[in-house]
């Protein structure tokens, strides 16, 4: 077998010095370097400032994709849920989000497609807000919230996750840059099956929960609710679910 000839490039030297010969970059090496530079540039362009807290976050997805991914995951979730929009507390749910949405929207560069439904599930003590503003409140959490202010604590927290873009930030971190870049390029197949879990249903990390708490308290205060009432709600939540916050 013939040995592959190596290509070298002569680099000019100063007068009186010998020329320096170095191995010329291969086509594959140039491709890898170009890909690395592209990802580095994408990383620089994808550092975004989180509303209210000002934290710098790495998120490859543009905020418009929060709405697209959230809307699809929302439709898939509601298709398997039993809605209870005629529940006695449903008007209260709508009042709370109607007060929180305008103050949250002020911190966003695009208009989210806000929507809320009540899900009939007395065993699930939870509520959530998808990226892009699609929300659900399970009937199981309503006895814990007790009143409108208690529910404002919950929904301020959940909206906090959405406007901080925790869902697509986690997607960027967990599925890897290549899958996210494929999605941006129009290949939705790999992310579609995982979207709901990554965007909202997996438990959040401690730093994300604390940031959502911070944002949520600011939102509910701006909406005219007393944030001091959050203490009583979280005590009731700890008793009802062993200390786990709504996801």
- Length of the chain in residues, anyone? 247
Which residue in 227, 220, 215 sits closest to 164, CA to CA?
A: 215
Rounded to 5 degrees, φ, ψ at 128 are: -155, 165
**Phi, psi dihedral angles at 56 (to 5 degrees):** -85, 120
Residues forming the active site: 158
Rounded Cα–Cα distance for residues 225 and 234 (Å): 16
- Structure tokens belonging to residue 24: 């010329």
Any idea what the Cα angle at residue 191 is, between residues 121 and 83, rounded to 5°? 20
Largest CA distance in the chain: 92
The H-assigned helical ranges of 18-82 are: 27-45, 63-79
């Amino acid at each position: 077998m013939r040995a592959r000839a190596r290509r070298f490039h002569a680099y000019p030297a100063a007068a009186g010095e010998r020329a320096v010969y170095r191995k010329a970059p291969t086509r594959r090496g140039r491709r890898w370097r170009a890909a690395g530079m592209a990802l580095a540039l994408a990383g620089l362009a994808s550092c975004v400032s989180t509303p209210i807290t000002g934290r710098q976050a790495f998120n490859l997805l543009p905020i418009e994709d929060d709405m697209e991914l959230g809307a699809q995951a929302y439709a898939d979730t509601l298709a398997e849920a039993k809605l209870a929009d005629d529940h006695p507390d449903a008007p209260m749910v709508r009042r709370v989000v109607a007060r929180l949405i305008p103050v949250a929207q002020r911190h966003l560069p695009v208009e989210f497609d806000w929507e809320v439904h009540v899900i009939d599930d007395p065993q699930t003590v939870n509520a959530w807000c998808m990226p892009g503003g699609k929300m659900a409140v399970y009937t199981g959490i309503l006895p814990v919230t007790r009143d409108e202010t208690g529910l404002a604590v919950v929904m301020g927290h959940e909206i906090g996750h959405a406007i901080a873009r925790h869902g697509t930030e986690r997607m960027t971190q967990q599925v890897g840059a290549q899958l996210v870049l494929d999605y941006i390029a129009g290949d939705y197949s790999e992310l579609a099956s995982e979207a709901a879990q990554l965007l909202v249903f997996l438990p959040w990390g401690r730093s994300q929960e604390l940031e959502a708490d911070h944002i949520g308290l600011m939102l509910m205060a701006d909406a005219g609710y007393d944030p001091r009432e959050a203490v009583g709600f979280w005590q009731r939540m700890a008793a009802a679910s062993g200390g786990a916050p709504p996801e």
